[in-house]
C-alpha cells in the first residue's frame, strides 16, 4: 500500500538565485563527508566551502550531514547514570588501594 | 538560524597524554584514566552491544586490563585503539555467555528504575529552545537508527562518529582493512541520515 519513501539524492543540481555567483560543480556526498571530516587538502576544502556558501542545495545538504555528525558526537559524550558512575569510582579506589598495599 | 557548514573535526586523542602521566606515576592521572576507560566500556556496551546489564563486566575488564597495560606501555598513541579493541572483545565475550537471549538495545535515553535518567551531557546554553527540542528528537531517532544497523556498522559508527577514532584506528580495532571501514561507514551514514530525516509517523 505504501511505496518506500525515496530520499532525494544527496547532491541535487544547484537551485540558486541569479545574484549568487555561479558555483563550481556540485559536491558529491563522499566529497562533502571528506570535507566535514576535515580530510580534504586545504585548497579543495576552500573550494567546497565557497561552493557550499553559494549553492543552496549543497549548503542545506552539508548542514544536514553536520547535524547528524553533531548528534553522534553528543551521544559519544553521554553521561553515565549516577549509580554506575559511583560504582566505577569505587572500583578505581579499591584497585589503587590494593596496589598501594602490595608495594 | 546560523548557517554553519564548516568541517566538524573529530575530538582529539585525550588518552595519549593521560597514559603518559599515569605511567609516569601521577596518581590523579591514573585515577582519571581508569575512570575514563570504564565510561568508554559502558557507552560501548549500551550503544553497540545493547546489553546494559553486561556493561559492568565490560567496565571491570577495561579497568583491570588498562591498569596492567599502563605499566608496560611503550606507545601512548596506541592506547586509544587498544582500549576500544579491549572493550569490544569484552562485550563479545559477554554476548557469547548469553547466546540464547535475543539481542536488544537499551534506549539511549531510557529512564532507569532508580530514577536516575541516563542523560546526555547538559545542553549547550547557546542553543535556542526549539533547537534543544529538535536535538532531543534527533537523539531518539539516532538510537532507533542505530538499532537498525548490522552490528559491525553499529560498532564502526560508535568508534568513528561517537569516539572520533581515525579510519586507521577503526580498522585496527575491527580487524578489517581501512577500505572496508570506509565502505561500511559510508553505508551506515546513509542509513542513519535516512532514518534521522524520515518524517515522523
Ligand atoms: Zn551545489
* Cell numbers placing B201: 509517523
From chain A, the residues in CB contact with B108 under 8 A are 75, 78
Task: Give the Å distance between the CA of B85 and the centre of ligand 1.
Answer: 39
Question: Does A5 map to a domain?
Answer: no
Count of A–B CB contacts within 8 Å? 138
By CB neighbour count within 10 A (0-12 exposed, 13-18 middle, 19+ buried), where does B149 fall? buried
Q: Residues B193, A65: contact at Cβ < 8 Å?
A: yes
Contact A64 B43 (CB under 8 A): no
User: Burial level of A51, CB count in 10 A (0-12/13-18/19+)?
Assistant: buried
Q: Between these two residues, A28 and A22, which has the higher pLDDT value?
A: A28
- Give the domain extent around A63: 25-102
- Nearest residue in chain B measured CA to CA from A87: B56
Output the CA angle B147-B150-B155, nearest 5 degrees: 85
Query: Angle A42-54/A56-76 helices, nearest 10 degrees?
Result: 120
Domain count, chain A: 1
**CATH classification of B127-201 is 3.30.365.10, yes or no?**
no
pTM over 0.95: no
| Angle at A43 (CA atoms; ends A40, A47), nearest 5 degrees | 90
From residue B60, give the alpha-carbon distance in Å to each of A35, A89, A91, B38, B119: 38, 11, 8, 7, 22
Question: Using CA atoms in the order B106, B112, B117, B118, what is the torsion angle rounded to 10 degrees?
Answer: -30
What ipTM was predicted for this assembly? 0.77
How many angstroms is it from A42 CA to the middle of ligand 1?
19
- Within 8 A of A9 by CB-CB distance, chain B residues are none
Are A82 and B116 contacting, i.e. CB atoms less than 8 angstroms apart? yes
Architecture of domain B7-105 in this structure: Orthogonal Bundle (1.10)
Flag if B194 and A7 touch (Cβ within 8 Å). yes
| A51 Cα–ligand 1 center, Å | 6
Q: Given a cut of 70, is residue A95 above it in pLDDT?
A: yes
In a domain, A78, yes or no: yes
Using an 8 Å CB-CB cutoff, list chain A residues near B186. 30, 33
Q: Is residue A62 part of a domain?
A: yes
Closest of A95, A26, A88 to residue B57, by C-alpha: A88
**Which segments of chain B have a pLDDT < 50?**
1-2, 102-123
The domains of chain B are located at 7-105, 127-201
Mean pLDDT of A43-59: 93
Contact status, residue B155 vs residue B172, Cβ threshold 8 Å: no
CA of A38 to the centre of ligand 1 (A): 19
Q: Is B187 exposed, middle or buried (0-12, 13-18, 19+ CB in 10 A)?
A: middle
Q: How far is CA B55 from CA A64, A78, B84, B142, in A?
A: 32, 14, 14, 20
At B199 the pLDDT is 73
The average pLDDT across A78-101 equals: 93
**Is A10 within a domain?**
no
Lowest-confidence segment of A3-17, A21-35, B126-140 by average pLDDT: A3-17
- In this prediction, residue A77 has a pLDDT band, given cuts at 50, 70 and 90, of confident
Between CA A11 and CA A63 the distance in angstroms is 12
Residue A15 included in any domain:
no
Nearest CB to A75 within list B34, B59, B108: B108
Report if residue A7 sits inside a domain.
no
Amino acid at each position: 500500500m505504501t511505496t518506500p519513501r525515496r530520499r532525494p539524492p544527496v547532491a541535487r543540481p544547484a537551485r540558486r538565485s541569479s545574484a549568487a555567483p555561479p558555483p563550481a560543480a556540485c559536491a558529491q556526498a563522499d566529497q562533502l563527508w571528506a570535507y566535514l571530516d576535515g580530510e580534504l587538502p586545504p585548497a579543495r576544502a576552500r573550494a567546497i566551502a565557497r561552493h557550499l556558501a553559494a549553492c543552496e542545495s549543497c549548503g542545506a545538504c552539508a548542514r544536514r550531514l553536520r547535524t547528524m555528525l553533531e548528534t553522534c558526537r553528543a551521544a559519544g559524550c553521554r553521561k553515565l547514570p549516577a549509580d554506575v558512575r559511583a560504582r566505577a569510582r569505587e572500583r578505581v579506589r579499591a584497585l589503587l588501594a590494593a596496589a598501594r598495599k602490595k608495594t | 538560524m546560523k548557517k554553519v557548514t564548516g568541517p566538524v573535526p573529530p575530538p582529539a586523542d585525550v588518552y595519549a597524554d593521560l597514559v603518559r602521566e599515569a605511567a609516569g606515576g601521577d596518581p590523579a592521572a591514573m585515577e582519571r584514566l581508569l575512570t575514563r576507560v570504564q565510561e568508554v566500556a559502558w557507552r560501548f556496551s549500551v550503544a553497540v552491544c545493547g546489553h546494559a546489564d553486561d556493561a559492568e563486566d565490560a567496565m571491570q575488564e577495561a579497568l583491570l586490563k588498562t591498569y596492567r597495560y599502563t605499566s608496560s606501555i611503550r606507545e601512548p598513541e596506541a592506547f586509544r585503539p587498544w582500549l576500544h579493541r579491549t572493550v569490544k572483545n569484552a562485550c563479545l565475550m559477554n554476548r557469547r555467555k548469553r547466546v540464547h537471549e535475543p539481542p536488544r538495545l537499551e534506549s539511549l535515553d531510557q529512564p532507569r528504575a532508580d530514577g536516575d535518567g541516563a542523560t546526555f551531557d547538559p545542553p549547550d546554553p547557546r542553543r535556542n529552545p526549539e533547537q534543544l527540542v529538535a536535538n532531543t528528537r534527533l537523539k531518539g531517532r539516532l538510537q532507533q537508527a542505530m538499532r537498525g544497523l548490522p552490528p559491525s556498522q553499529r560498532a564502526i559508527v560508535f568508534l568513528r562518529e561517537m569516539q572520533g577514532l581515525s579510519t586507521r584506528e577503526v580498522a585496527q580495532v575491527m580487524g578489517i582493512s581501512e577500505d572496508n571501514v570506509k565502505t561500511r561507514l559510508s553505508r551506515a551514514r546513509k542509513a542513519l541520515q535516512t532514518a534521522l530525516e524520515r518524517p515522523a509517523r
